[in-house]
Amino acid sequence: MKRLLQVMLLLAAVLGLGACGREAAPAEKRLVRVGFSQVGSESSWRKANTASMTAALSEEEGFELLFDNAKQRQENQLLAIRNFIQQDVDYIVLAPIAESGWDDVLQEARDAGIPVIIADRMIDVQDRDLYVSRVGSDFLKEGQQIVRWLERELERRGETGKPLRILHIQGTDGATSQLLRTQALEEAVKAHPEWEIAARLPGEYTEAKSYELVRDFLRTDRDIDVVYSENDNMSFGAIRALEEAGLSCGGDGGVTVLSFDAVREALRLCMEGKISACAECNPLHGPRVAALIRQLERGETPEKETFVEEAFFETGDVTEELLRSREY
């Protein structure tokens, strides 16, 4: 027994000397765990937004991303956020479906000590300290740009003051982009008594829904001068329905299609003249969100709201070179 003890002590000593002769293995770098609740995959814009977020919050960039697709249902987002809290993530990123309904779940996140970043649309909460920062677009400005373009175009044609019938295709009800783009149009109609909203159709930001609604509308009313479509995918559906009904898009004699987002396919249609003007809504939020998280990791306080840079396009602005250079 004594000899066995001696052998064991000798072996331990040898192993200890071997360990002293080697450098200690470097500790693995800790990944920052981020839970991201995405609206869905309803549009080309949304898919580009998801791709930007997943690339910027990848392991190569120092993050562990927990991604959840809410499939256009707010209750799925509430469940995802609570799951992220249970999984003790470091940060939560929320791309909200609608503005309201977040107070309770974001309070739960704050109680758990998890900072929340809002991406894309805004939220309406009683306490703005429930989230640390928001990155997104100035949706009202986008709508105002489209309206000002229409005013200038009517002036160019010598049609200022003439009756104008507008088919308004709206996005998801209650989303910031829908509310503010609608607000811009409503303010313009109020300022121009000769402008009339022929109908408002709930396109829900999808091509299929827009196509069906516009197709059905045109069966009873073809007297349309302008389509004000609150995103590109709905514009695609509207253009298809218009053309199937024998109506042309663009030019001085066709229906003027106004769109938002400026994805590559929409800009190609803009170059072809089928979309007359398109306000960009930049989906590449990933690098900005990653930069915000790094600021917070350093103990810094970021700006409460940051608007992304965006452009505006009309038919003569778009070239093949521009299309090739687009990331989305």
> In this predicted model, what pLDDT tens digit does every residue of 276-311 receive, in sequence order?
999 999 999 999 999 999 999 999 999 999 998 899
Look at residue 40 and tell me whether its pLDDT is greater than 90: yes
How far CA 178 is from CA of 78, 128, 140, 290, 308, in Å, comes to 21, 21, 10, 26, 18
Residue 255 inside a domain? The answer is yes
Tell whether 66 and 123 lie within a shared domain.
yes
Residue 12 inside a domain? The answer is no
Q: Which residue range(s) make up the domain with 178?
A: 139-281+315-325
Tell whether 194 and 63 lie within a shared domain.
no
Q: What is the pLDDT of residue 20?
A: 43
Residue type, 303: E
Tell whether 162 and 262 lie within a shared domain.
yes
Residue 15 inside a domain? The answer is no
Residue 291 inside a domain? The answer is yes
Tell whether 156 and 65 lie within a shared domain.
no
Q: What is the pLDDT of residue 107?
A: 98
pLDDT digits (tens, 9 = 90+) for 52-100: 999 999 999 999 999 999 999 999 999 999 999 999 999 999 999 999 9
Tell whether 41 and 171 lie within a shared domain.
no
79: its two tokens:
């469940």
How far CA 211 is from CA of 112, 214, 216, 222, 248, in Å, comes to 45, 5, 9, 15, 15
Q: Work out how many domains the chain is built from and give that number.
A: 2
pLDDT digits (tens, 9 = 90+) for 165-196: 999 999 999 999 999 999 999 999 999 999 99
Q: How confident is the model at residue 156 (pLDDT cuts 50, 70, 90)?
A: very high
Look at residue 25 and tell me whether its pLDDT is greater than 60: no
Nearest 5°: phi and psi at 136? 180, -165
Q: How confident is the model at residue 110 (pLDDT cuts 50, 70, 90)?
A: very high
Q: What is the pLDDT of residue 28?
A: 66
Q: What is the pLDDT of residue 27?
A: 55
Q: What is the pLDDT of residue 29?
A: 77
Tell whether 175 and 231 lie within a shared domain.
yes
Tell whether 273 and 251 lie within a shared domain.
yes
Tell whether 63 and 106 lie within a shared domain.
yes
Tell whether 147 and 194 lie within a shared domain.
yes
DSSP 8-state assignment for residue 108: H
C-alpha closest to that of 293 among 47, 106, 61, 82? 61
Residue 145 inside a domain? The answer is yes
Residue 310 inside a domain? The answer is no
> What percent of the chain lies above the pLDDT cut of 70?
91
Q: Taking a C-beta distance cutoff of 8 angstroms, is the pair 277, 270 a contact?
A: yes
Tell whether 111 and 210 lie within a shared domain.
no
pLDDT digits (tens, 9 = 90+) for 203-259: 999 999 999 999 999 999 999 999 999 999 999 999 999 999 999 999 878 999 999
Tell whether 178 and 319 lie within a shared domain.
yes
Token pair 């989230």 is found at 131
Residue type, 325: S
C-alpha closest to that of 235 among 254, 217, 253, 209? 209
Tell whether 207 and 240 lie within a shared domain.
yes
Residue 96 inside a domain? The answer is yes
CATH of the domain at 54: 3.40.50.2300
Residues 6+ apart with CB under 8 A from 40: 46, 69, 70, 71, 72
Residue 8 inside a domain? The answer is no
